[in-house]
Amino acid sequence: MTDSTAASDPSATPADILADTGFVKQEWEGRQTDWLLQWFVQFVNKTPLEVGITLSIGGGLVSGTLISHHQYFEELAADFSKPFEAFDGPEAEHVKDLVLGFITPPTPAGEREPAMQFLHLRDARLYSAGGEAIPSKGALWRGKIAAVDGFSMGGLSANQT
């Protein structure tokens, strides 16, 4: 029995199901994950919507614009390949294609779509205990949904805490 089929096999024993690392990771550890935040991330991934959000993570705040997984990798590829444009040759395009390769294909029809595990922000700012925004300009940011303690819709401006 493969990891991907144990949980969906009606004849699987509890031992089979718990031996399925994918099931354990997603179904058990996923219970610590806010299903509503996962739904918002899933929604943004399937639409052109981008929305301000502020996250509470380990006592700190992260605020920015929630963007899709695809948009994040498009922007990351452009940013990461830019320094390579100084070289003669195909390095910049090669690096860009390499990063774009991390965009996963859509889930095939009939298969269960995996729960969202990461969220992506543009213009993200981390706020220190003193209320200072770090970095002041904002940046691309990727974080684990399971690490989020709480969230509110709407972003903070750089001079607001």
User: Do 125 and 96 touch, CB atoms closer than 8 A?
Assistant: no
**Which CA distances in Å does 84 have to 20, 71, 100, 120?**
42, 21, 15, 24
pLDDT band at 121 (very low <50, low <70, confident <90, very high): very high
Query: Is pLDDT at 159 greater than 60 in this prediction?
Result: no
pLDDT tens digits, residue range 5-16? Answer: 555 667 777 777
3 has pLDDT over 90: no
Token reading at 41: 């991330």
**With contact defined as beta carbons under 8 Å apart, do 99 and 73 qualify?**
yes
Tell me which of 73-77, 84-88, 140-144 is least confident: 84-88
Report the C-alpha gap between 32 and 27 in whole angstroms.
9
Say how far apart CA 129 and CA 107 lie, in whole Å: 41
Q: Of 132, 115, 133, which is closest to residue 124 (Cα–Cα)?
A: 133
As a whole number, mean pLDDT of residues 128-141 equals 79
Q: Which residues pair with 51 in a beta bridge?
A: 66
pLDDT at 24 exceeding the cut of 90: no
C-alpha distances out from residue 134 to 24, 55, 61, 142, Å:
36, 14, 10, 15
Please answer whether residues 57 and 143 qualify as being in contact, where contact means their C-beta atoms are separated by less than 8 angstroms: yes
For the ranges 6-20, 50-64, 101-115, 134-148, which has the lowest average pLDDT?
A: 6-20
Among residues of the chain, what percentage have pLDDT more than 70? 81
Q: Which of 149, 118, 152, 153 is closest to 32 using CA atoms? A: 149
